[in-house]
């Protein structure tokens, strides 16, 4: 079977867009596909410790943009100029309510042939959560790692759909969290992704890609 897409070509031709054309909007059908990518992103023990805040309107983007202030001001025009902006958030905890919600969803979705299988997975997931909470003491970091998987899916997927994107860690997360009321919802922002179509000021578009050579990155056993 010949694959219909060359994924390496997509990976090498995508870039972090540095300016967007504010006049160009992502068609809703394409944006729906990006939301499907986020929703279906894999996570350890299917923990899905994330939430995504989406801004498609100027008013929505205007709530996010001020978080790109001070040393991060260079990111503000990207947020305002993009067609859509997604704030990728991590949960601040995996509590019993979230664990129950996951198990109930998997049960509704037909993942468990019987109660014993359901109980086995419940226990396994709880053990992983406790491993990170108590023994490794890195539960917040573990949850953020899952969010970054969703970020990777989103960036590659956007490129595959012919869209431009810019991932951003350069923003005041405390200010954004307060503006979006995230702490009260047990969430915190991790990254922002601006999505749309590159504008004339996108200085990164014509530059060659730069990556370390394959022989330093891969060990072939």
Ligand X SMILES: Cc1cc2nc3c(=O)[nH]c(=O)nc-3n(C[C@H](O)[C@H](O)[C@H](O)COP(=O)(O)O)c2cc1C
For residue 104, report the phi and psi dihedrals to the nearest 5 degrees. Answer: -65, -40
Q: From the CB of 148, what's the least distance to ligand X, in Å? A: 7
78 in catalytic set: yes
Region from 56-64, 100-108, 133-141, 164-172 binding ligand X, contact rule CB under 6 A: 164-172
Q: Minimum CB separation from ligand X for residue 66, in Å?
A: 15
- 130: annotated active-site residue: no
In angstroms, the CA 12 to CA 148 distance is: 20
> Which residue's CB comes closest to ligand X?
170
Q: Is 199 in the site for ligand X (CB under 6 A)?
A: no
- CB–CB of 141/91 below 8 Å? no
Smallest distance from ligand X to CB 173, Å: 12
Token output for 8:
């390496």
> What part of residues 2-21 is at the interface with ligand X (CB under 6 A)?
15-16, 18
- Name the catalytic one among 18, 61, 144, 188: 18
**Closer residue to ligand X (CB): 73 or 117:** 73
CB nearer ligand X, residue 134 or residue 212:
212
Q: Which of 32, 119, 130, 169 is catalytic?
A: 169
Indicate if 61 belongs to the active site: no
Beta bridge partners of 84: 195
Q: Which residue is associated with the tokens 């049960």?
A: 107
209 touching ligand X, by CB under 6 A: yes
Question: Considering the rule CB under 6 A, would residue 168 count as an interface residue with ligand X?
Answer: yes
As measured in angstroms, the least distance from the Cβ of 52 to ligand X is 15
Cα–Cα distance, 150 to 43 (Å, whole number): 8
Buried b vs exposed e over 135-156: b needs ≥16 C-beta within 10 Å? Answer: eeeebbebbbbbbbebbebbbb
CA proximity to 172, closest of 60, 66, 53, 62: 66
Which of 69, 137, 169, 178 is close enough to bind ligand X by CB under 6 A? 169
Binding residues with ligand X: total (CB under 6 A): 12
The answer to whether 94 and 129 have CB atoms below 8 angstroms apart is yes
CA dihedral 102, 40, 140, 174 (to 10 degrees): -120
Which residue of 49, 81, 157, 167 would you call a contact of ligand X, by CB under 6 A? 167
Distance CA 34, CA 160 (A): 10
Residues labelled catalytic: 18, 78, 169
Point out which residues bind ligand X (CB under 6 A).
Answer: 15-16, 18, 75, 166-170, 191, 204, 209
């Amino acid at each position: 079977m010949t694959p219909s897409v060359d994924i390496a070509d997509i990976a090498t031709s995508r870039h972090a867009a540095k300016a967007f054309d504010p006049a160009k909007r992502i068609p809703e059908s394409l944006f729906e596909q990006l939301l499907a990518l986020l929703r279906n992103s894999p996570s350890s023990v299917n923990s899905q410790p994330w939430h995504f805040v989406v801004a498609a309107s100027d008013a929505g983007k205007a709530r996010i943009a001020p978080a790109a202030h001070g040393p991060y001001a260079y990111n503000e025009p990207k947020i305002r100029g993009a067609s859509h902006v997604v704030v990728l958030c991590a949960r601040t905890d995996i509590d019993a309510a979230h664990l129950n919600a996951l198990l109930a969803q998997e049960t509704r979705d037909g993942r468990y042939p019987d109660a014993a299988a359901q109980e086995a997975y419940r226990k396994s997931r709880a053990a992983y959560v406790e491993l990170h909470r108590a023994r490794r003491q890195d539960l917040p970091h573990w949850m953020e790692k899952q969010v970054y998987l969703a970020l990777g899916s989103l960036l590659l997927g956007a490129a595959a759909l012919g869209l431009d994107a810019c991932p951003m860690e350069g923003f005041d997360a405390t200010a954004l969290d307060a503006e979006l009321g995230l702490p009260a919802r047990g969430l915190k922002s991790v990254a922002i992704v601006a999505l749309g179509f590159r504008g004339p000021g996108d200085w990164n578009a014509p530059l060659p890609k730069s990556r370390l050579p394959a022989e330093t990155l891969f060990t072939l056993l």
